[in-house]
Amino acid sequence: MLTKIKVAHVQEIDEQGARTFAVGDKEIAVFKLSDGSVRAIENRCPHKGGRLSEGMVCGSAVHCPLHDWKIDLHSGRVHEPDHGSVTVYDTEVDAATGSVYITLD
C-alpha cells in the first residue's frame, strides 16, 4: 500500500541543499535542485553508509561526503566507475501550498 507523507515546505529546503526526515526506521534525504525540483532518496551511500544529505549537489547528482561517490537523484544509481544504488522516493510539491510530500511503499 502506498502512503503519501508531508515532510516539509519547499521553502524550508535550500537550493542545492537537503533536509533529512525519519519515517519509521528509514532516514530519507530530500533535496531541492537548482531547477526548483525536489527529489528524495535513502540517506545512506551504498559504499560505506555516508550520509548523502551532507554531500554536495551538482546538477542532478549528490556526491557522498565520505568517498565522493556520485549518486543520481532521479534514478538512485551510482555513477560509473562505481556501482550500486539507493532507494528513490516519489516526491510531489503542492503548487498552492508549497507542501512537499513523499510516497512510501
Q: Which domains does the chain have, with CATH numbers?
A: 3-104 (2.102.10.10)
**Any residues with CB less than 8 A from the CB of 49 and at least 6 apart, and which?**
none
CA distances from residue 63 to 6, 34, 54, 56, 67 in whole angstroms, order as listed: 26, 15, 9, 5, 8
* CA-wise closest residue to 32 among 47, 16, 20: 16
pTM of the complete model? 0.92
Q: What is the pLDDT of residues 30-59, one digit of tens each?
A: 999 999 999 999 999 999 999 999 999 999
